[in-house]
Structure 1
């Protein structure tokens, strides 16, 4: 059985986090493709059992400045057309939405920090129920958003951003938020995003660090349950 996972990583500190542990427990083999160090067009899009496109500080619609977006969009298009399991987190979710024909655009403000998700009925009946804002908080870190793609199902929202999570078919999941975050790795986020933190009014590294220390343990437990459930429920790809 194919258990290869291709994780497309834009910046080194935004990795699979909690998801990597869940995959390891299920004996899935993870291979990272680091954008800028490897050719995005090199892998066979249909070879991995699961492809995860992770977050990053660029905009999903800025093809002119970042030519790596074009082959990445092509990779996602082929996987989704083949019905293969595909997960997008933050930038990855925006790219999936774009492949599905939705508009990706600036949110109008930064959503950075911890706040709970409000789940839709569909979200409460999916693995996302583990992220219910009544029980756990969620890390957010983005300035762009996307319209809900046609035929997609909205799973979660916040007051700032309506489309926080969606599913499309049985095997595609987009998460604007960051359920994968691990508290013991968060200092790298603060260092890597230092300029953005300093230039965003109302955002403070000390507060982000304190909130993460307090809230990440519950999120890590929720992510372990949610990711595990989602992986176990993946449907066979269409022939």
Structure 2
């Protein structure tokens, strides 16, 4: 059993750049498909760090494994394990902490500029971030802030893009883990779900414009989050 546990929910939302970071650092990690029942029986007392990835489902869907994952996250939070959530993963963390998740009247998709909350001046999760940065988005749900959470940044279309809870939990609404091949895969396979007439969605051309440069910048944003997360775990 590895030091890092990664929870996934569908084949096209893998750990992607996060896995590359862990491999480069020599960190051992287990990747489980929660939707296939692979979390069942896993020893939750073992992981030193946990990452929760995305998925197309809603936290509010009547899927039996969602309740199991929320309960597992609550146990890991009680153990004070460093946890980072990506999109659906961030929403699952919000639910585990007692917050609601709601459907937005639109889908936020593409490269969206983030605005750091003015009152946040000393969060270690933000220490590496430049004043201007963007994160790749693809979501129609959004989380409310759990009691005691610190809002970190927002976008034009989504007020709650990230929150920290305590000193070991980071929930993100976007997808900092994306790689260039994974973005191309999503745009090739799922473009029919988008409607670029919506102002909250970029066109496919805009998403692909200067893609290598945008992904490199996104990787740097992600690596700062992951470095602090792993530092908290002593890894």
Normalised TM-score (structure 2): 0.87
Alignment match, 1:102 = 99
Between stretches 199-208 and 81-90, larger displacement belongs to 199-208
Cα distance in structure 2, aligned partners of 1:216 and 1:124: 26
Distance 1:130 1:139, change over 3 A: farther
Distance 1:125 1:171, change over 3 A: closer
Normalised TM-score (structure 1): 0.86
1:199 Cα offset (Å): 8.7
Deviations 1:66-92 (A, max 9, x none): 221111111111111121121111001
- CA-atom RMSD in angstroms: 2.4
Alignment match, 2:193 = 196
Alignment match, 2:158 = 161
1:124 Cα offset (Å): 6.0
Does the 8 A contact of 2:59 with 2:91 survive in 1? yes
1:25 Cα offset (Å): 3.0
Deviations 1:129-173 (A, max 9, x none): 434451x32111110001110011111111211111111112111
Alignment match, 2:34 = 35
Distance 1:31 1:76, change over 3 A: same
Does the 8 A contact of 1:171 with 1:235 survive in 2? no
Q: Give the paired residue count.
A: 232
Cα distance in structure 1, aligned partners of 2:51 and 2:159: 22
Cα distance in structure 2, aligned partners of 1:4 and 1:235: 10
> Which one of the candidate residues 77, 83, 87 is aligned to 1:86?
83
Cα distance in structure 2, aligned partners of 1:116 and 1:94: 20
Cα distance in structure 1, aligned partners of 2:121 and 2:184: 30
Alignment match, 1:173 = 170
Is structure 2 residue 108 aligned with structure 1 residue 111? Answer: yes
* Structure 1 gaps, min length 5: none
